Chains A and B, each alone.
Chain A
Amino acid sequence: AQKITQTQPGMFVQEKEAVTLDCTYDTSDPSYGLFWYKQPSSGEMIFLIYQGSYDQQNATEGRYSLNFQKARKSANLVISASQLGDSAMYFCAMREGDGGSNYKLTFGKGTLLTVNP
């Protein structure tokens, strides 16, 4: 089974509107971390936001927020007030465990977001 599933290959949003990018995950480890990265056409992966499995509140970073629903194993990224510069690939990723292999990220296939003027 895929550990990270991003079901939206592409999404479109109008400038200044909000958009939600979906991510579901699969793990049996009680300790894990969830990440979102942005990859513009330059190729660099840019860290956006992190949510730990034991965090009680949803993570927020500026215009980014993570809608963490633990029972549903979902970690959707919400981008508010979209800007043209938000157009990029977005990847959801997971780190499992708090011990031996906690350095390894597993990525989804990504969602290509296009912001229209």
Chain B
Amino acid sequence: GAGVSQTPSNKVTEKGKYVELRCDPISGHTALYWYRQSLGQGPEFLIYFQGTGAADDSGLPNDRFFAVRPEGSVSTLKIQRTERGDSAVYLCASSFDGRAGELFFGEGSRLTVL
């Protein structure tokens, strides 16, 4: 498809487990973003990639969260030792450049930590 693809769409895990969420951006988009949306809230910025490097990871809540984009395309958000408070929808977006113009979002990965 032509849009941003995120997998899995739903993930249920137990407290303490490790989780990986994948994002496949629109082809040709150099900028990639991860946002987290908790219930009843707007999305909150986590991390921004320009190419392969994380240009800004200031939104990651703690060192249990990590994200990579090794080839400048697909990105993986990794969460270690999950906690119940990590339950949220994790949204990925991409754009042609890094000016946060028109961001194209995926449908998100809903994470539930039991």
Contact = CB atoms under 8 A, between A and B. Distances in A.
Contact of A109 (B33, B42, B48, B107): B42
A108 B102 CA distance: 17
A47 interface: yes
Interface stretch (B16-24, B64-72, B74-82, B91-99): B91-99
Contacts of A4: 42
Interface string B39-64: 01111110010100001100100000
Question: How big is chain B's contact interface, by range?
Answer: 20 to 34
B40 A101 contact: no
A50 interface: yes
Contact of A45 (B31, B43, B48, B99): B43
B44 A43 contact: no
Best-surrounded residue of B48, B50, B89, B107 (most CB of chain A within 10 A)? B107
Interface of A: 4, 33, 37, 42-47, 50, 91, 93, 95, 101-110
Given A95-B99, A102-B99, 15 more contacts: A37-B105, A44-B105, A44-B106, A44-B107, A45-B103, A93-B42, A103-B48, A103-B100, A104-B56, A105-B35, A105-B43, A105-B103, A107-B42, A107-B44, A109-B42
